[in-house]
Structure 1
Amino acid sequence: MSASSAAWSVSARFANTACLLHSKEASVQPDVSFVIAAYNAAATLDRAIVSAIAQRDVSVEIIVVDDQSRDNTLDVARAYPEDVVKVIALPANRGPGGARNAGVELASGRWVAVLDSDDAVLPGRLAAMIARAEKAGAVIAVDNLQVIREDGVAEATMFPAEYLEGLREITLADYIAGNIVFESTFNLGYLKPIFQRRFLTENGLRYDENLSIGEDYLLLANALAKGGKCVVEPTTGYIYHIRTGSISRVLELHHVEAMRKADAVFAETNSMDAAAAAAFARRARSLRKAASFLSLVQHIKARSPLKAIRTALSDPAAVRHMSMPIAVRLRRVAAQFAVGTGR
């Protein structure tokens, strides 16, 4: 068993003891509110909750928002004492952004930390992040992520440690430049920030419920645009579990179109300095190319050669995103189309 996997082999006795300790602090404002949006997460929710309970040197409240799950996710969440895990059962499915917003509305901690229901956090994560943020006078903090494959094997961390150590802080320009679709060396959209709750409230910051991919990016981008200072804790504290079929790993055309609309609103409602504006223009171009590329693939899969050719001709740059096998397939489809029409 890997070291990271062993960290989650927490006994029920330990979890119950931790529950009792935290319940004694119920009358005091918690340092951190964990918001866990859960949809059909019965198989992994315990791991996420127990890791939140196990945080050292900070007091926590845990809020699980069940987004109309069809399995027994709600039963798993309600198995914990109410003063340890607060449970919200949404009357209708609101998607990841909506579920998180419901949790943030209920949160009472000084800081808000979003934890995905199939992930986990290391015991010292929040204490380290809060200490670094408060020392720097920041309202946002991020750290590194450990990637765990479905078979439990730990891969490399999401970001090289020296890369994060060199950043120290993340500006709006840095963040947008780290979210160029298909082009960014390190996709900063995977970061799992913690936010000072008062800053979120004072600036009316919430997740965009129209996005099912990219809602994390947009919230942090808006927070940075509102003047939020974001510091980097270079150590690894978040455990990111790869899961086949996870919505965050399947980019489709409608996701990209929704992101383009959200970015247009972002540009209308926020001011950007020259560096951020330049990065934003690059991101806009990358989203346009991504939309063309995904449209091209969609036409190929649907055996619509004429539409595929029109898309390729209207945006040749989209073809450069294609791997060689698909590019070869496109040429073959085009050739078949020409033969079929007598050209």
Structure 2
Amino acid sequence: DVARAYPGDIVRVVALANNRGPGGARNAGLDAARGRWIAVLDSDDAVFPGRLAAMIARAESADAQIAVDNLQVVREDGVIEDAMFPRQYLEGLREISLATYIAGNVVFESKFNLGYLKPIFQREFLNENRLRYDEKLRIGEDYILFAGALARGGKCVVEPDIGYAYHIRSGSISRVLELHHVEAMRRADAVFAQTHRMDEAAQAAFARRGRSLRKAASFLSLVQHIKARSPLKAIRTALSDPAAVRHMGMPIAVRLRRMAAQFAVGAGR
């Protein structure tokens, strides 16, 4: 209702007949867009005045098709935290390559998770390369589009100033990672590898990301088995991929040992 209250030449509301997920909603916006640049704003986030002007100016001065900036983290209780990325880190990047971006999306391992970046894209570049969001993904759809744009030769520049306010919500999709999300991400990565060319550095980063997704899937399987009180399945999963237990930390390993001991007692050993 608030959006519809604006004049149609300023705000255009696109209503979907069915829930197509975040990727579907974004694709509908891409198809309806007519401007030179595309920017995505999640419903619970905000942007600072002048953000787009600064990013577009930086991108166009460098003949770039993509631009990113820093994010302000706002907790659920309204407390404003530090910037998501140290300014010195973004100033040092200046540009983001495909290898750098993939390396910044190694699950649970990247020092700075570049998947949280909120890029703007040159609309003509997206259309010319037929780039759209993967509607099968509920988490990771932004990563696949961004990586695809870089793989197609898109140049990404970095604006180190804060322009986007990222609000943490405990129940938001991006904060609740489940096994089916990771499995979908692995399938999407497999398709990406088949449809995009990567240099040696990007391939190495891609392999690291693949291993991290495998360990994440094993860890989440462990969690499911523990919650379901299925000790045999939990132990079998841990034995098949012990790196997942080591990587995800000691608390899960301790719980598995306790479950194994309880199972041994129950079995009369």
Q: Please, what TM-score do these two structures have when normalized by structure 2? A: 0.98
The answer for the alignment partner of 1:341 in structure 2 is 267
From 96, 99, 113, the counterpart of 1:187: 113
Q: Which residue of 1 aligns with 2:151?
A: 225
Summarize the alignment of residues 129-144 of structure 1 with structure 2, pairs less than 5 Å apart: 129-144=55-70
Asked if 1:250 is matched to 2:176, the reply is: yes
Q: Which amino acid counterpart does residue 138 of structure 2 have in structure 1? A: S
Partner of 1:160: 86
For 2:258, the aligned partner's letter is: R
Q: Which runs of 5+ in 2 are unaligned?
A: none
TM-superposed CA distance for 1:332, in Å, is: 0.7
1:92-130 deviation per Cα after TM superposition (whole angstroms, max 9, x unaligned): 000000000001100000000001010010011011100
**1:149 correspondence with 2:97:** no
Is residue 104 of structure 2 the alignment partner of residue 172 of structure 1?
no
Q: How does 1:190-201 map to 2 (within 5 A)?
A: 190-201=116-127
Q: CA deviation at 1:77?
A: 2.5
Separation (CA, whole Å) in 2 of partners of 1:324 and 1:111: 46
* Cα deviation code 1:217-267 (max 9, x no counterpart): 110000000000000011110010111201001111000000000000000
Determine the structure 1 residue equivalent to 2:162. 236
Instruction: Tell me which amino acid in the other structure corresponds to 1:222.
Output: G
Aligned to 2:198, the other structure's residue is in SS state coil
- How many residues in Structure 1 have an aligned counterpart in Structure 2? 269
Displacement of 1:83 in angstroms is: 2.3
Matched, 1:125 2:12: no
Aligned-partner residue type, residue 96 of structure 2: I
1:96 and 2:15 equivalent? Answer: no
Once residues 120 and 164 of structure 1 are traced to their aligned partners in structure 2, the CA distance between those partners, rounded to angstroms, is 21
Quote the Cα distance in structure 2 between the aligned partners of 1:330 and 1:195.
46
Match of 1:295 among 218, 221, 235: 221
Partners of 2:102 and 2:192 lie apart in 1 by 12
* TM-score using structure 1 length: 0.77
User: Equivalences for 1:41-56 in 2 at 5 Å?
Assistant: none
* One-letter identity of the residue aligned with 1:221: A
Structure 1 Cα separation of the partners of residues 249 and 190 of structure 2: 29
Q: In the alignment, does 2:38 pair up with 1:112?
A: yes
234, 251, 258: which one pairs with 1:325?
A: 251
- Report sequence identity in percent: 82
Q: Distance in 1 between matches of 2:3 and 2:56?
A: 26
Gaps of at least 5 residues in structure 1 are 1-74
- 2:12 match: secondary structure: strand
Q: CA deviation at 1:322?
A: 3.3
Q: Root-mean-square deviation (CA), in Å?
A: 0.9
- 1 or 2 for the larger relative contact order (CA 8 Å, sep ≥6)? 2
Counterpart position of 2:234: 308
Cα distance between partner residues in 2 of 1:198 and 1:204: 10
Q: 1:212 is matched with which residue?
A: 138
CA contact (8 A) 2:245 2:252 kept: no
Residue type of the alignment partner of 1:174: T
Counterpart CA distance in 2 for 1:163 and 1:330 is 38
The whole-number CA distance in structure 2 between the counterparts of 1:239 and 1:94 is 25
Q: Compute the displacement of 1:152 (Å).
A: 1.4
Please give the alpha-carbon distance, in whole angstroms, between the structure 1 residues aligned to 2:105 and 2:97: 13
In structure 1, C-alpha distance between the alignment counterparts of 2:221 and 2:2, rounded to whole Å: 40
